[in-house]
Amino acid sequence: MKLTSYWLDTSEPFRSATAGPVQGSCDVAVIGGGLTGCSAALALAKKGARVVLLEAETVGHAASGRNGGMCNNGFAQDYGTMSAKLGKEVADRLYRAFDAGVDTVERLVAQEKIDCSFARVGKIKLAAKPEHYDKLARSQELLAANVDPDTEMVSRADLAREVGSDRFYGGLIYRKGAGMHVGRFVRGLAEAAARRGVEIHEHAPMTGLRPAPGGHQIETPKGRLHTKQVLLASGTSQTGPLGWIRRRIVPVGAFLIVTEPLPKETLDRLLPRRRMAVDTKNLVNYFRTTPDNRLLFGGRARFAVSNPNSDEKSGAILKAALHEVFPELRAARIDYCWGGMVDMTRDRLPRAGERNGIYYSMGYSGHGTQMSTLMGTIMAEVMDGRAELNPWKDFDWPAIPGHVGPPWFLPLVGAYYRLKDKLA
Ligand SMILES: Cc1cc2nc3c(=O)[nH]c(=O)nc-3n(C[C@H](O)[C@H](O)[C@H](O)COP(=O)(O)OP(=O)(O)OC[C@H]3O[C@@H](n4cnc5c(N)ncnc54)[C@H](O)[C@@H]3O)c2cc1C
């Protein structure tokens, strides 16, 4: 079993990194080479800006190359709850922003000819308990009446046409959802940005940032750079002068396993429509197929950080969960196991904007392949004076009380959600 991301292991490496020192000046420095940063760099370069992207490790090495590759519309939370909390008008606008996120990924894949198996296969949210089905059905009624007629319910009796497992009590289908090979997508975006003249430096963490005449000065171990504007696209960063952000984002580990390639007939039985499947538990599990006919199975498993030792422990928990859902996969070999850090905000909604002349976009809270890509393109406009285009512009962002170092409270949060799942 490889303790590495299946997506990064099965995509071409990014080949167009700039060699040599970080030096000179540019219009925009983008900090972070994930989906937000690569999408922003590409959009800024298309607008004619001189862009330098600094990546602490390698392109896509963090969440963007380690996720489930699910590119789904809709909120991670229930639409009715969001509507009650934010007001219908705001909730509908944000819901449509996630639609636009999926559309943006689809458009970039076509425009930049990125071979990443993007397919609108739809998502199914699976009721893990009988009463969850009723809740999903109420949600679907509201969705269909307000923002998403491309949804439908599937009863338990009909579920075999969607999922070959008797663990679920029906489901809610979102037809606009999609899947992709996210390693090929993020590296393809970076190649597209490099083709448009973006200088992409890998192993070049921003370690210092201060105001300088006409903009900002950035320090890296590879040299320093003068830039007129800065975009922080740095996810759960623990590197560099980003304390303000670190007090607002909690890095939460999430983990995945991938089986050996399976016979097509097996997948035709387990996931006949190849949907992106997610269950309704607080400690969610999700699964999908890969372009080479494996089954990917992910979840929170444990509230722990991601590192090879922790990933392996979480992998064992996920394997047991996989066998519960699909007992016929007991004999299937697990070829990959890895984890990544999710950039959680307190309300699980992204944050983007400008503070003290520095722009930022992050906090996608585990629902970000589409939103990060969309926000990259939007932040290019915001930095060009179009702040009104930012869907998150009206959200304030207070620090999380007590969150000043490593997130000591995560095991307590994990225990709380495990108990909630048990009692529900
Ligand atoms: C395990 C897992 C599963 C997920 N599954 C899904 C899914 O199926 N669907 C979905 O929609 N979302 C999913 N997500 C969320 C999604 O992957 C993220 O929302 C998205 O990738 C965020 O992209 P990003 O570019 O903002 O951040 P990242 O991908 O984290 O990129 C930030 C980059 O900034 C770099 N960086 C940090 N600090 C510095 C510095 N000082 N200088 C230079 N570079 C720096 C980092 O090295 C990193 O490469 C998942 C996340 C995880 C972790």
Give the tens place of pLDDT for each residue, 379-390: 999 999 999 999
- Compute, in angstroms, the gap from residue 234 CA to the centroid of ligand 1: 8
Ligand 1 pocket list (CB less than 6 A): 31-37, 54-57, 61-64, 66-70, 205-206, 233-237, 239-240, 254, 256, 339-342, 362, 364, 366-370, 372
- Alpha carbon distance 30, 40 (integer Å): 8
Q: Which atom of ligand 1 is nearest to the CA of 205?
A: 42
Model confidence at 305, in pLDDT bands (50, 70, 90)? confident
- Compute, in angstroms, the gap from residue 340 CA to the centroid of ligand 1: 8
Give the pLDDT mean for 29-53. Answer: 98
Q: Is 402 exposed, middle or buried (0-12, 13-18, 19+ CB in 10 A)?
A: exposed
**193-197, 329-333, 336-340, 418-422 — which is least confidently predicted?**
418-422
Which is more confidently placed, 304 or 139?
139
Whose Cα sits closest to atom 33 in ligand 1? 32
Residue 228 phi/psi, 5° resolution? -75, -40
- Compute, in angstroms, the gap from residue 63 CA to the centroid of ligand 1: 3
- Compute, in angstroms, the gap from residue 60 CA to the centroid of ligand 1: 8
Model confidence at 412, in pLDDT bands (50, 70, 90)? low
Residue 283 has pLDDT above 90, yes or no: no
Inter-helix orientation angle 182-195/88-111, to 10°: 70
User: CA 62: distance to chain centroid?
Assistant: 10
- Alpha carbon distance 49, 52 (integer Å): 10
Whole-prediction pTM value? 0.95
Cβ proximity of 372 and 364 under 8 Å: yes
Whose Cα sits closest to atom 15 in ligand 1? 366
Residue 420 has pLDDT above 70, yes or no: no
- Compute, in angstroms, the gap from residue 129 CA to the centroid of ligand 1: 31
Rounded percentage of the chain residues whose pLDDT exceeds 70 = 94
Contacts of 351 (CB under 8 A, 6+ apart): 248, 345, 360, 361, 362, 363, 392, 395, 397
- The three-state secondary structure class of 388 is helix
- Alpha carbon distance 219, 243 (integer Å): 16
Q: Which atom of ligand 1 is nearest to the CA of 61?
A: 49
Residue 417 has pLDDT above 90, yes or no: no
- Compute, in angstroms, the gap from residue 66 CA to the centroid of ligand 1: 8
Q: Which atom of ligand 1 is nearest to the CA of 206?
A: 42
- Alpha carbon distance 369, 182 (integer Å): 8
Tokens 């607080």: give the residue: 282
Q: Give, as one character, the DSSP assignment of residue 19.
A: P
Q: What's residue 313's pLDDT? A: 87
Domain borders along the chain are 6-412
- Compute, in angstroms, the gap from residue 338 CA to the centroid of ligand 1: 14
- Compute, in angstroms, the gap from residue 325 CA to the centroid of ligand 1: 28
Per the document, the length of the chain is: 424
Q: Which atom of ligand 1 is nearest to the CA of 72?
A: 11
- The three-state secondary structure class of 46 is helix
Cβ proximity of 189 and 35 under 8 Å: yes
Sign of CA pseudo-dihedral 330, 333, 336, 338: positive
Cβ proximity of 288 and 259 under 8 Å: no
- Alpha carbon distance 253, 247 (integer Å): 17
**What is the residue type of 109?**
V
- Alpha carbon distance 97, 291 (integer Å): 27
- Compute, in angstroms, the gap from residue 364 CA to the centroid of ligand 1: 9
Give the pLDDT mean for 44-51. Answer: 98
Closest CA relative to residue 284, chosen from 254, 314, 261:
254
**What is the residue type of 141?**
E
Q: Which atom of ligand 1 is nearest to the CA of 339?
A: 1
Whose Cα sits closest to atom 25 in ligand 1? 34
Distances (CA, A) of 376 to 49, 318, 380, 399: 14, 32, 6, 24
Hey, what are 307's tokens?
A: 């590192």
- Alpha carbon distance 12, 145 (integer Å): 44
Q: What's residue 367's pLDDT? A: 96
pLDDT tens digits, 332-371: 999 999 999 999 999 999 999 999 999 999 999 999 999 9
- Compute, in angstroms, the gap from residue 380 CA to the centroid of ligand 1: 18
- Pocket test residue of 303, 318, 369 for ligand 1, highest count of atoms within 8 A of CB: 369
Number of other residues whose CB lies within 10 A of the CB of residue 111:
11
Residue 220: strand pairing partners = 223
Q: Which CATH superfamily is domain 6-412 in?
A: FAD/NAD(P)-binding domain (3.50.50.60)
Angle at the Cα of 257 (from 361 to 276), degrees rounded to 5?
Answer: 65
- Pocket test residue of 38, 67, 225, 252 for ligand 1, highest count of atoms within 8 A of CB: 67
Whose Cα sits closest to atom 18 in ligand 1? 368
- Compute, in angstroms, the gap from residue 65 CA to the centroid of ligand 1: 7
- Pocket test residue of 342, 351, 358, 359 for ligand 1, highest count of atoms within 8 A of CB: 342
